[in-house]
Amino acid sequence: MIEVLQKLCSLPGPSGCEDAVRDYIRALAEPVADEIREDSIGNLMVFRKGKKSCGKTIMLAAHMDEVGIICKGYTEDGCVKFGFVGGVDPRVVIGRRVLFDDVRGVVGIKAVHLTTREERKTMPKTKDLYIDIGASDKKEAEKRVPLGTYGVFDSACVPFGDGLLKAKAIDDRVGCAVLLTLLLEQPAVDTWFVFSVQEEVGLRGARCAAFDLNPDICLVLEGTTAADLAEVDGAKQVCGLRRGVVIPFMDRATIYHQGMFETLRKLAEENGIPWQTKHRVAGGTDAGRIHLTRDGVVTGALAAPVRYIHSPSCVAAIDDMNGMLALSRRFLEYMGEDHHEI
């Protein structure tokens, strides 16, 4: 799974432009899929018959898109003015490399010796930033990066330290990697695997996919904010690396189904899978749209803790991500048991 994740993280896929990620996933899924749907917004929905049917429509979901940038204009000397696609803290991008298709650039800001004392006390705004692509003038910049061109962080995916992985877009390529692994090994029960689009700009693709499939039960797989740093106390850490897969009971978009939360917790404890929950109500997932579909969907979630989320250098623990895979697999097995209850 980690090898698949590393490949997925290397692909560009900002919200609304997930083509490269979708093409890679579809190429792996097609040889084993029993049905594939691709809707007009770009969701990829893959059905694979499991070892048995549980009589319910089961959906596992993860989003393909990542935060990114989009070209909005130019300076007279040939730099690109841009906006963020999804939620990005401007502080994390200054001096970072970005990639518009095959055009590389660096995010710049006014030199510190030209700033006022008051400017140095405030967080930079996006309008104060630019991207240097090496163009000689505005005309050359317009030719190389047309208006509306999407870009992503230009960041390598590398293991480091004590079992950690650094990459862009771990949110939510880790969920996609888990789905692909379960799909390729054949799930325990008939399952729809949904790779959604435009989560980072409003959970948009998930709404369409859930309405199409009308699932009875859905498990959303995500990456979630971890702020487990020395100067951050208590609940403000939200969750932490190496403490296990996150089973959330609530976030800003969803109150998760109590039966799903308890089932996932019980399965983790019975199978020796380390788990934690979020100690602060923060963030949101595609569940925010899925659980409201039609007559309502029984929805739960699993997440991998990710430091520096929505940045060029997201950091996650390999053990936590493998734990998410193990608990997802065990959940599907549980759904195939004769006396399962949620």
Angle between helices 2-10 and 19-29 (to 10 degrees): 150
Which structure tokens are listed for 75? 């300076």
Task: Decide: helix, strand or coil at residue 115.
Answer: coil
CA 338 vs. chain centroid, Å, equals 33
Q: What is the distance between the terminal CA atoms of the chain, rounded to a whole angstrom? A: 28
How many Å apart are CA 304 and CA 319, to the nearest integer?
A: 10
E strand or H helix that includes residue 303: strand 298-307
Environment class of residue 40 by beta-carbon count within 10 Å: exposed (0-12), middle (13-18) or buried (19+)?
exposed
Which structure tokens are listed for 23? 């093409």
Query: Residue 21 phi/psi, 5° resolution?
Result: -65, -45
User: Was 171 annotated as part of a binding site?
Assistant: yes
* Continuous H helices in 202-315: 204-213, 258-270, 287-290
Which structure tokens are listed for 127? 């309008």
User: Was 142 annotated as part of a binding site?
Assistant: no
User: Was 222 annotated as part of a binding site?
Assistant: yes
User: Was 113 annotated as part of a binding site?
Assistant: no
Candidates 169, 164, 166, 175; CA nearest to 303 is 175
Q: Which residues are catalytic?
A: 199
E strand or H helix that includes residue 324: helix 318-335
Binding-site residues, please?
Answer: 63, 171, 200, 222, 310
Binding-site residues for Zn(2+), please?
Answer: 63, 171, 200, 222, 310
